[in-house]
């Protein structure tokens, strides 16, 4: 069988495993990791009306993985009656971020301008992060819709990071690193990251050094967060499919290695 045909069969089998597992009504228990627990506990213990800043620093292509994380965290923030300042330091995250923020706010009956605001996108992310440490109004004189930031009730008393309990960067790249390096290091701002699984190892050193407070990583992180907040969503729905797909890939790796070593030893025998 040709390599291309074999590859096609493996992809089709993986797709079938994922799709069948997703359809089956099987839920697996998600045991929260210490990092997700830490993220949840911090938000859970915040007093009412504390200010949280959430930055949607990702592209549209990572939405299937990012969305469950964002929604799980946003639901928790709104349930806790916290004041939310949304923004984006990645152009593509702007409309997506606003849509997720607005959709979740509606579910909890929150009012724009009073309970939450979306400041929109700001280019030159490093100057934006540093600038907000001095004055959020100066960086964002207007919100996403052109309302003057000063006139919004949610922004009252919030001049810079001093009144922001935590910045959450929802990222599929290294944008959260800039939050750590500039808002965290210079202004001592607490940073949490919601990350795609592919980025977790990049952030591990920051987590180990305490520069990053906590991480909610990948679909698994979303499932754990949903479990803690008692609102099961896309993260938990996908866990069984993810588990079976991983098992399938592990089996394929083992079979591939057996075939490789057998063909190598038979070549040696012939040679």
Summarize as ranges the residues that interact with another protein (CB under 8 A). 4, 8, 11-12, 15, 18-19, 22-23, 59-65, 67-68, 91-92, 94-95, 120-123, 126-127, 130, 142, 180-182, 184-186, 196-201, 205-206, 208-211, 218-220, 234, 237-238, 241-242, 245-246, 249
Q: Report the nearest approach of another protein to the CB of residue 31 (Å).
A: 16
Give the Cα separation of 16 and 265 in Å (integer). 33
Beta strands per DSSP E along the chain: 51-57, 83-88, 116-121, 164-171, 191-195, 214-217
Q: How far is the CB of 267 from another protein (least distance, A)?
A: 26
The nearer residue to another protein, 197 or 251, going by C-beta atoms, is 197
CB of 52 to another protein, least distance (A): 22
217 φ/ψ sector (left φ>0, alpha ψ -120 to 50, else beta)? beta
Distance, CA of 104 to CA of 100 (rounded, Å): 6
* Least distance CB 144 / another protein (angstroms): 10
Alpha-carbon distance of 129 to 228, in angstroms, equals 31
- What interhelical angle do 234-270 and 218-229 show, nearest 10? 150
| Identity of the residue, 151 or 156, whose beta carbon is nearer to another protein in the bound complex | 151
Closest CB to another protein among 39 and 62?
62
CB of 14 to another protein, least distance (A): 8
3-state secondary structure of 159: coil
What's the chain's length in residues?
Answer: 271
Beta-strand pair 83-88/164-171 = unpaired
Comparing CB distances to another protein, the nearer of 54 and 241 is 241
Closest CB to another protein among residues 91, 111: 91
Contacts of 99 (CB under 8 A, 6+ apart): none
Instruction: Decide if 191 contacts 214 (C-beta within 8 A).
Output: no
Q: How far is the CB of 89 from another protein (least distance, A)?
A: 11
By beta-carbon proximity to another protein, the closer residue of 79 and 248 is 248
Choice between 9 and 111, CB closer to another protein = 9
* Rounded least distance, CB 266 to another protein, Å: 27
The secondary structure of 173-211, three-state, reads: CCHHHHHHHHHHHHHCCCEEEEECHHHHHHHHHHHHCCC
């Amino acid at each position: 069988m040709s390599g291309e045909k074999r590859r096609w069969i493996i992809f089709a089998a993986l797709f079938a495993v994922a799709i069948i597992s997703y359809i089956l009504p099987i839920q697996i228990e998600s045991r929260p990791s210490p990092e997700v627990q830490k993220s949840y506990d911090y938000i859970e213990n915040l007093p009412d009306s504390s200010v949280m800043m959430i930055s949607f620093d990702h592209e549209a292509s990572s939405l299937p993985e990012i969305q469950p994380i964002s929604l799980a965290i946003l639901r928790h923030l709104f349930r806790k009656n916290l004041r939310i300042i949304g923004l984006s330091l990645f152009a593509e995250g702007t409309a997506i971020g606003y849509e997720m923020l607005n959709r979740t706010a509606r579910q909890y009956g929150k009012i724009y301008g009073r309970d939450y605001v979306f400041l929109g996108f700001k280019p030159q992310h490093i100057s934006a992060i540093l600038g907000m440490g001095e004055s959020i109004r100066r960086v964002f004189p207007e919100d996403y819709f052109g309302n003057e930031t000063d006139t919004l009730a949610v922004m009252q008393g919030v001049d810079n990071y001093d009144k922001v309990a935590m910045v959450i960067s929802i990222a599929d790249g290294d944008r959260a690193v800039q939050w750590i390096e500039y808002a965290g290091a210079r202004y001592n701002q607490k940073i949490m990251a919601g990350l795609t699984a592919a980025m977790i190892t990049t952030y591990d050193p920051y987590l180990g050094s305490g520069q990053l407070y906590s991480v909610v990583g990948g679909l698994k992180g979303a499932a754990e967060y949903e479990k803690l907040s008692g609102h099961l969503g896309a993260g938990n729905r996908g866990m069984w499919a993810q588990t079976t797909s991983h098992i399938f890939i592990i089996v394929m790796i083992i079979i591939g290695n057996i075939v490789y070593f057998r063909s190598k030893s038979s070549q040696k025998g012939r040679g």
